[in-house]
Structure 1
Amino acid sequence: MYIKNIHLAYFSATFSTKRIVREIASQFQKPVIEYDITSDVLKDDVSLGSDGNLLIVGVPSYAGRVPEMAVRSLRRFLGNNTPAFIVSVYGNRAYDDTLIEMIRS
């Protein structure tokens, strides 16, 4: 897999999710484009395609679920066989369906 750019999308109310996805991205040593979806829902679609882009998505697990505001933004990311990592950060409770919800978003 050839990676040219890394796109980070994260919901991070306490900044720990942001810190974790940034650390994952730093291992690739490639340019990073960040989308902080914590306080605002994305208004426009983000088209990633498959040409050298990698998407890393991180959200906390709130009561075993993805925060609703994060779901609305995640649906704005459009890829075409774009590889992606999904990361669920432990919120002092079992993550239940968080990863499943992220895959469906």
Structure 2
Amino acid sequence: MSQQVRITSPASVPLRPLIEAALRDEARLLERSIRRTLERLRHFETRYGMSSEEFERRFQAGELDDHPDFIEWFGELTFYRLLLAQRDALLGAEIQ
């Protein structure tokens, strides 16, 4: 799906470089958040001796209880995927 955004401003400074810099900065922030989230996922994987993929399959199948760690792990995994999607959207953006 392709999306377009139109930005106008009464300012006399060129917007394109500012927007490009803002997108790069946001992508860097997302990368930092992705690394932190991966660290938390690895912590759970080590603690419970299973990959996040196996955990998710078992959690969604109802094989695991509603332990607070499992709920947090599932939330971190969901957040990780959201961060990846946001980063990919920014990196794939093209300013014309």
Which structure has the highest helix share of the two?
Answer: 2
Which structure has the highest strand share of the two?
Answer: 1
TM-score (norm: length of structure 2)? 0.27
Largest Rg, 1 or 2: 2
- Higher RCO (C-alpha 8 Å, min separation 6): 2
TM-score (norm: length of structure 1)? 0.26
